Amino acid sequence: MRSKRLANSIKRKLDETCDKSKLAKRSVHQKNRNEMEYAGNEVGSSNHCVTRDTAERSKTGYLIFRDYPDFRPNKTPKEVMQAGSFGGGYFRNIKSGVTKEAYKDVWKEFPSDWFKGLKINLQVANPTYNKSVNRYKVKCGASLTEWEGSGWIKAHDPYGWFQWYCRFYLGRRTSDDQRQLARWKSFDGRWKSNLINRIRKANTSYDDFTISPAIRQSLLHWGIEVTEADVTITVRKNSEEEKQKLLALVPLI
């Protein structure tokens, strides 16, 4: 009888040890799972956005994302908002034509210092586009309905590219990243060069804001601002290309 009680006691202790081990493993697994989800593993909700910067700033002012080195904006989401963008209404309340869901106060998902000093109802979530809020005081860009109709908006980010950028900047990664990065690269390549060429043609400085304010505002929405270095590098590059063309015309002696 005593031997049986002893055996039962040992069995209970072994069971308890086993249960604790299983619980510990489950806790570690859940922690890892939570960390993956918190980093935004295929999820777009505010609960899955890391609240820290994931980019470094290069000496020339461009942002460096170690996992996507070709993505080089020079304005953070905070800087875009603080400069004056989207007519003050990017994070307004919407009913998405893609997800069929209503979204309210989406700006609260992001760090509060991004919006420090801004009037939310005028500069962040204004239901009416107000160009006077924009840095360059012009209206630009298509409406959300137009973007949805063109097929550019996906369920990951029902507000569009800038919402994707905000979440990407904070660490989220999804299967939609490559598409969004390709969109940025195409926009940067086309319109940044366009603006630089206009500046050169006008023989003026990079910060002459009378030159193509609508293009400047659009670039800002994509985290891009033309700098003096951009214009200087382009001039040098073009001068070198012209030099090579001239040399090609010189007859060989």
Handedness of CA 202, 209, 231, 165 (dihedral sign): negative
Residue 34 lies in a domain: no
Q: How far is CA 62 from the centre of its chain?
A: 14
pLDDT at 188 over 60: yes
Kindly report the number of other CB atoms within 10 A of residue 74's CB atom. 19
Question: pLDDT-based confidence at 168, cuts 50/70/90?
Answer: very high
What span, in angstroms and rounded, lies between the C-alpha atoms of 60 and 157?
30
Q: Classify 57 as helix, strand or coil.
A: strand
Residue 3 lies in a domain: no
List pLDDT tens digits, range 1-55: 555 565 565 556 555 555 545 444 443 343 333 334 434 444 444 444 454 668 9
Q: Which amino acid is at 180?
A: Q
Look up tokens 């295929």; give the residue.
Answer: 42
Handedness of CA 109, 113, 119, 123 (dihedral sign): negative
Q: Classify 102 as helix, strand or coil.
A: strand
Structure tokens, 194? 């366009």
Single out the residue of 176, 179, 174 nearest to residue 42, CA to CA.
174
The beta strands (E) that lie in 41-125 are given as: 56-57, 63-64, 94-95, 102-103
Residue 135 lies in a domain: yes
Residue 136 lies in a domain: yes
Q: What average pLDDT does the segment 105-118 reach?
A: 98
pLDDT (0 to 100) of residue 36: 40
Our count of domains for the chain comes to 1
DSSP state of 143: -
Task: Give 64-81 as a DSSP string.
Answer: E-TT-TT---SS-HHHHH
Residue 30 lies in a domain: no
pLDDT at 116 over 90: yes
5 burial level (CB within 10 Å; 0-12, 13-18, 19+): exposed
Residue 117 lies in a domain: yes
Structure tokens, 226? 């033309």
Residue 134 lies in a domain: yes
Structure tokens, 3? 């031997």
Residue 172 lies in a domain: yes
Note down the domain range covering 110: 53-249
Residues with Cβ within 8 Å of 124's Cβ and at least 6 positions away in sequence, in order, are 81, 88, 89, 90, 91, 107, 115, 118
Please name every residue paired with 102 in a beta bridge, in sequence order, or none if there are none. 95
Cα–Cα distances in angstroms (integers) from residue 218 to residues 7, 41, 73, 134, 186, in the given order: 76, 29, 13, 10, 13
pTM score, two decimals? 0.76
List pLDDT tens digits, range 67-96: 999 999 999 999 999 999 999 999 999 999
By mean pLDDT, which of 132-141, 162-171, 228-237 is the weakest?
228-237
